[in-house]
């Protein structure tokens, strides 16, 4: 239970990091274009992630690293391709906002899309995610989070 609480808090902290990321990336986009901003951010992110990989390798003892090594040659190629839908997001968001949607509307709809994906993914076990039954309580949670988010997005 404590371990689970740790995951929950980490996920919320992830959301905080995401908000900070979007804040600075939109500042960069204001000075450039959405594409160039995301391109620069991905490049910087790669450098930072590389530094983090080296840092964790130095901090972990050799023995732990040996135990952690899995046979990566067996991993399917799509395991490495998460960056493509992630980067394509920038393209679609730019198209939607250049179209008839306002920024707030686009953000709100993207949140809905994320949650729909989460529910479908849990239900069918997409991308080898563990299958989990969607219960009535989940709909209550989704309603609260989406309604609250809409109030935050449109309540400026």
Residues 52-91 that bind another protein (CB under 8 A): 52-53, 56, 68, 70, 72, 75, 78-91
Q: Which of residues 4-23 bind another protein (CB under 8 A)?
A: 7-8, 10-23
Question: What letter would DSSP give residue 156?
Answer: -
CB of 88 to another protein, least distance (A): 6
Element (H, E) at 66: helix 62-68
CB of 6 to another protein, least distance (A): 9
CB of 92 to another protein, least distance (A): 4
Q: Which of residues 107-146 bind another protein (CB under 8 A)?
A: 109-119, 121-122, 126-130, 132, 134-135, 137-138, 140-145
Q: Is 104 in the site for another protein (CB under 8 A)?
A: no
Q: What are phi and psi of 32, to 5 degrees?
A: -130, -125
Those residues with Cβ within 8 angstroms of residue 52's Cβ, 6 or more apart along the chain or in another chain:
none
- Token pair of 85 as six digits: 């839908």
Q: What are phi and psi of 102, to 5 degrees?
A: -80, 165
């Amino acid at each position: 239970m404590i371990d689970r609480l740790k995951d929950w808090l980490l996920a919320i902290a992830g959301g905080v990091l995401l908000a900070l990321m979007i804040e600075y990336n939109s500042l960069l986009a204001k000075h450039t274009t959405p594409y160039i901003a995301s391109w620069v951010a991905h490049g910087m992110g790669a450098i930072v992630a590389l530094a983090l990989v080296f840092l964790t390798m130095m901090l972990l003892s050799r023995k732990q690293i040996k135990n952690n090594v899995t046979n990566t040659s067996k991993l399917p190629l799509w395991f490495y391709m998460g960056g493509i839908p992630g980067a394509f997001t920038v393209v679609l968001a730019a198209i939607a906002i250049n179209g008839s949607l306002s920024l707030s509307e686009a953000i709100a709809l993207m949140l809905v899309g994320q949650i729909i994906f989460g529910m479908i993914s849990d239900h069918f076990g997409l991308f080898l995610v563990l299958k989990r039954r969607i219960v009535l309580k989940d709909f209550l949670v989704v309603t609260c989070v989406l309604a609250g988010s809409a109030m935050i997005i449109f309540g400026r």
